[in-house]
Structure 1
Amino acid sequence: MPPVLSVIAGMVDITGFYMLGNIFTAHITGNLVVASAVAVGGGPINLAQLAAIPAFILVLVLIWLIARFSRLTGPALVRLLLGVQCALLAAVLAVSVALKPATHPHGLIAGTAVMIAVAAMATQYALLRLALPKAVSTAVMTGNLSNAVLSIMDALSNGHPLMSADDGRLKQALRLLAGFVVGCVIAALAMPLMGDWVWALPTALAALVMIRPVFWGGR
């Protein structure tokens, strides 16, 4: 399942960035950097970009509460949180198709749509940490790329490896990195052709993951 979630994260991140006011929906670090640069150097303040940071935190808190009070664990919790993510992405699709926020990417409707997309990605983060704690992050590609490169260097070296040997983690990091890039490329190619309907791609993929337990070992 994590590689498929990584594809979804790539789709949502690049689509939100290009269509909803240049805001990273899955890459909160980017929003922190841009917001800090504006605060120091001056320039127009993107309120939605600033709001994305506390919104992400708030959704994490809400998902933790949902997980705690649901008392679900394992596949049952996975299915629940996948359903929340799918519902949020469907909401972004509905808003985008009905209200055309991309025509005014810095307007109120675009800001609302991007907050929902941020909530979907926060849900994905929480899903991995709460229900699949051993999984590698599906959206933070800096760590996956770093682990992959350093592990490959260890594998090519004849001396004692500098990192703990974990071929499984290396393979997983490479799959997630590839999945994120594939998601970005697919969404980038689809945006000129599909317009606001491009949000149907991550929504459909999220629905597929939710209803097909084969992706994550559910029943």
Structure 2
Amino acid sequence: MLIQPNSPALPNAHPSAANDLAPSALAQRLPPLLSVIAGMVDLTGFLTLGNIFTAHVTGNLVLAAAAAVRGGPLNLAQALAIPVFIAAVALTWLIAQASRKHGPALARPLLIVQFVLLAIVLTFSVLTRPSTNPHGLMAGIAVMIAVSAMACQYALLRLALPRAVSTAVMTGNLTNATLTVMEILSKRGSIMAADARRLTGSLALLAGFLIGCLVAAAAVSVLADWAWSLPLALAAVAVVLY
């Protein structure tokens, strides 16, 4: 039997092939929202949980290395945040494998995982009030849960939306935005392909992360440990919308 050129896709075609080829509104709209969440989580954790970066492993790695070499007091939670992040990324991969989903279809289950982890952070913080002792055991536990939530977000982007720009590494986004502007303004020929969408995307993520930080700073001053309710609310919005 001959297959007509306009016939439907073959039954054994990969279920995510169409999603991978077609432009996805998810890839355009979800990262800015996640960047706001990342900014809120990072600054809320920094201000209430012993000056530890919950969304920036690089910062914790630098501070832990400096303390180890210079002989200063080692912040155990800061050092543990690095292997916990790695373990959480690996666990997210296992969850993705178990879901048997691919591409953008992975976004929703992993968004639910992020929501659950942030809900645990809020509940734990309200019950134990770790901000009253930022370097204590309760604060350390809260940090690890928050770091796990951000690890899930990082893994979500790489697994579900691999072409999306990072929602938390603002150094890369600022570099992309600056280079793209230079390429657009250049009259001597381009070194790289100038992409207006890349510029718009990088600026949107920069703005989102900054807004998240500013809102979190104000929320911590007013709400203390309840400030975790704001990134949780946005995580719920992400689950509902996407």
The counterpart of 1:4, out of the listed 28, 33, 46, is: 33
The counterpart of 1:80, out of the listed 88, 92, 109, is: 109
- Find the counterpart in structure 1 of residue 225 from structure 2: 196
Question: Does 2:74 align with 1:45?
Answer: yes
The counterpart of 2:137, out of the listed 94, 101, 108, is: 108
For residue 48 of structure 1, what is the amino acid of its counterpart? A
Q: Which runs of 4+ in 1 moved over 4 A?
A: none
- Find the counterpart in structure 2 of residue 22 from structure 1: 51
Larger radius of gyration: 2
Equivalents in 2 of 1:96, 1:13: separation in Å?
A: 15
Deviation at 1:154, TM superposition (A): 1.4
Question: Does 2:202 align with 1:170?
Answer: no
Equivalents in 2 of 1:84, 1:127: separation in Å?
A: 10
- Find the counterpart in structure 2 of residue 135 from structure 1: 164
Deviation at 1:165, TM superposition (A): 2.1
- Find the counterpart in structure 2 of residue 216 from structure 1: none
Equivalents in 2 of 1:200, 1:82: separation in Å?
A: 16
The counterpart of 1:125, out of the listed 154, 166, 173, is: 154
Equivalents in 1 of 2:98, 2:235: separation in Å?
A: 24
Deviation at 1:42, TM superposition (A): 1.2
Show structure 2 runs of 5+ residues with no match: 1-29
Equivalents in 1 of 2:57, 2:183: separation in Å?
A: 30
For residue 216 of structure 2, what is the amino acid of its counterpart? A
- Find the counterpart in structure 2 of residue 99 from structure 1: 128
For residue 185 of structure 1, what is the amino acid of its counterpart? L
Q: How many residues align?
A: 213
Equivalents in 2 of 1:28, 1:168: separation in Å?
A: 28
Deviation at 1:45, TM superposition (A): 0.8
Equivalents in 1 of 2:102, 2:182: separation in Å?
A: 38
- Offset from partner CA, 1:79-104 (integer Å, 9 cap, x none): 10000000000100001111100111
Deviation at 1:76, TM superposition (A): 3.3
Equivalents in 2 of 1:165, 1:157: separation in Å?
A: 10
Equivalents in 1 of 2:222, 2:110: separation in Å?
A: 31
Deviation at 1:160, TM superposition (A): 0.6
- Whether the aligned pair in 1 keeps the contact of 2:105 and 2:160 (CA below 8 Å) is no
Equivalents in 2 of 1:31, 1:120: separation in Å?
A: 16
The counterpart of 1:159, out of the listed 188, 191, 196, is: 188
Equivalents in 2 of 1:171, 1:4: separation in Å?
A: 14
The counterpart of 2:95, out of the listed 66, 77, 89, is: 66
Deviation at 1:163, TM superposition (A): 2.0
Deviation at 1:70, TM superposition (A): 1.5
Equivalents in 1 of 2:162, 2:187: separation in Å?
A: 33
Deviation at 1:72, TM superposition (A): 1.1
Q: Give me the TM-score of the superposition, normalised by structure 1.
A: 0.95
Equivalents in 1 of 2:205, 2:197: separation in Å?
A: 12
Deviation at 1:19, TM superposition (A): 0.4
- Whether the aligned pair in 1 keeps the contact of 2:54 and 2:143 (CA below 8 Å) is yes
Equivalents in 1 of 2:211, 2:190: separation in Å?
A: 31
Paired residue secondary structure (1:25): coil
